[in-house]
Structure 1
Amino acid sequence: MAGTTASSLVRGASAPGRGRRMPAPVWIGLAWLALMLALALTADWITPYRFTTFDLRNRLAVPFHPAHWLGTDELGRDVLSRLIVSIRISILVAFGATLISALLGTALGFLAAHARGLVEQLVLMLADFQAAMPFLILALAVLAFLGNALPLFIALMGLYGWERYARIARGLAISAGAQGYAGAVRQIGASPSRVYLRHILPNIASTLIVSMTLTFPEVILLESGLSFLGLGVQPPMTSLGNMVSYGREYLTRAPWIMLAPAACIVTTTLAVSLVGDWLRDKLDPTLR
């Protein structure tokens, strides 16, 4: 739904001069994403306090407190400091998981397009199973049995959505393989890896990049949901989902604990959706 709304906003704003200027919502989305990236990269230097530091004298301090601009939580921890660190962790998880998913799916899609036959059927069968299996249930089962260290959590999140890339890469690789340039490269003795990596991949990279921008907000929401349930990022580390989970118990007394990370989640996912839909409109020749 977020993607549909974002697409309508972008198309509506860019209808008079599509291709000539970037719509205002996309500029706003890019500016927000740049801000989030800057906060993530400079979190160690710009946080007012350590995100685990207690200030028991100022428990549940309201926003705009002289010492705590966004207030404090139930233990006196600075909400702004925890929010900045949470942004870094959530972006790290989402970016790492999206990259793993894209690499895995693209590799399997190329494998299916090259091998065909039984291997292709096996890859498609795995993709159908992944699409049919609710990923949240799978994640809950894996994290409950294997624990939830951060590297394992990122690797598990990387399994989300790989079947989309596999289907896209397989279909586009088969289409490109049937065209003249791929056949010509094979005729001069190029290896399969060179054909796929040097000639086919650059021609389908734009489609894969757009798919990554549309998957990225889904991973952020999934990470937030798992952390909200207590199976994602674990204390003392913090994430946006963790902050929302802790803040729900103080929603009536100290709503700022939950509202600040919730606003970041909503705004970031909307910004990525706006940028992703604009990239799709710009890079897809059928929509020009």
Structure 2
Amino acid sequence: MKAGRLLLWFSAGWLALMLVAALGAGYLAPYAYDALDLRQRLAPPAGLGGGMLHPLGTDDLGRDMLSRLLVSIRISLTIAFASTAIAMVIGTTAGFLAAHFRGWIEQALLVLIDLQAAIPFMIFALAVLAFFGNDLLLFVVLMGFHGWEKIARIARGLALSAGGQGYVAAAGDLGAGPVRIYLRHVLPNMAGTLIVSATLNFPEIMLIESGLSFLGLGVQPPLASLGNMVGYGRDYLEVAPWIPLLPALVIVTTALAVGLLGDLLRDRLDAPLA
């Protein structure tokens, strides 16, 4: 119990810090994220030989690492949040449709779900980005297609289970239509499970976005994300290791914190009532 509470406080504290960094990036960043200062290029962080002018050091163009890190956190979290929301909407809608419409509509949706699950998402994303380009809006929508099939399976199963309970039949007898039943009655009763699914899908999307940006297929310069900061800094790992390691540490810690929070929420919801 004590270890679980410590993990919960760690996860909540780190995610709160990331939200503050993302929302306040414009106010907390000491410099513009793309401001150049070649006189300060490759300056080490404070404590490693650098000064407080650039607390986290600079890159090879003299850009302040703290400013770039704050902006990168904002962009990466925005992509992850938006993509997770898209996946939740697509998956929940598909699950409800499969539960409500039986016959060929249900079978077609189940085949589509199985097809999405069978194709490695990274290969699918690489093909789409190679064909359509690197538009940021397209990239966010593309990330939204990751994991929707798992959410659809969960939503379908919970909707089928709810259909056999009395409150759904009672709402139908009172004249409520299918949309009202699913949105006002079924969805609130399964919201907890869907939230847990979202917390498990969020770090996956964040890691995939980082991987694609690292390969140069995600967020494009002059914008900065955690993934392309790591990709940009890989050539300076020996001479300036803070350039790739700082954003990599943020990626790993954020994904770990969200994953731990999702596991703790799942354990809490699955715990038997006393």
Question: Shorter chain as normaliser: what TM range?
Answer: over 0.9
**Cα pair 1:281 1:287 within 8 Å, conserved:** no
CA gap of 1:210–1:257, structure 2 versus 1, over 3 A, is same
* Match in the other structure for 1:7: none
Query: 1:114-153 residue pairs with structure 2 within 5 A?
Result: 114-153=100-139
Superposed, 1:205-216 pairs within 5 Å as 205-216=191-202
1:200 equivalenced with 2:186 (yes/no): yes
- Report deviation, 1:125: 0.5
Matched residue type, 1:141: A
Q: Which residue of 2 aligns with 1:186?
A: 172
Distance 1:287 1:249 in 2: 54
Q: Residues 1-288 of structure 1: matches in 2 within 5 Å?
A: 13-14=3-4, 23-64=5-46, 65-66=50-51, 67-285=53-271
| Distance in 2 (alpha carbons) for counterparts of 1:270 and 1:151 | 26
Q: Distance in 1 between matches of 2:110 and 2:3?
A: 39
Q: 1:127 to 1:99 in 2, by over 3 A?
A: same
Matched to 1:199, the amino acid is H
Q: In structure 2, what is the Cα distance between the partners aligned to 1:204 and 1:179? A: 13
Aligned-residue offset at 1:58: 1.0
CA distance in 1 between counterparts of 2:30 and 2:168 reads 56
Post-superposition offset of 1:285? 4.3
The one-letter amino acid paired with 2:93 is: A
Which blocks of at least 5 consecutive residues in structure 2 are unaligned? none
The 1-side partners of 2:273 and 2:121 are apart by 31
Measured in 2, the distance between the counterparts of 1:215 and 1:204 equals 17
Work out the CA distance in 2 between the residues paired with 1:70 and 1:243.
Answer: 14
Q: How far is 1:282 from its partner?
A: 1.1
Question: Separation in 2 of the partners of 1:124 and 1:49?
Answer: 51
Aligned length: 270
User: Percent identical across equivalent pairs?
Assistant: 62
Query: Within 2, Cα distance between the matches of 1:80 and 1:149?
Result: 26
> What is the Cα deviation at residue 284 of structure 1?
2.1
How many Å apart are 1:178 and its aligned residue?
A: 1.1
How many angstroms does 1:12 deviate by? 7.7
Structure 1 unaligned residues grouped into runs of 5+: 1-10, 15-22
Partners of 2:265 and 2:203 lie apart in 1 by: 15
Distance 2:217 2:66 in 1: 23
Q: TM-score, structure 2 length as denominator?
A: 0.96
Distance 2:152 2:100 in 1: 13
d(CA) in 2 for partners of 1:45 and 1:101? 31
Q: CA separation in 2, counterparts of 1:169 and 1:276?
A: 17
Which residue identity does 1:136 align to in structure 2? M
1:24 and 1:218 map into 2 onto residues whose CA distance is 23
Superposed displacement of residue 83, structure 1: 0.4
- TM-score, with structure 1 as normaliser: 0.91
Q: Quick one: distance in 2 between partners of 1:218 and 1:287?
A: 31
1:287/1:132 CA distance change after superposition, 3 Å: farther
Which letter maps to 1:162?
A: W
Distance 1:251 1:24 in 2: 33
Measure how far apart 1:13 and its partner are.
2.1
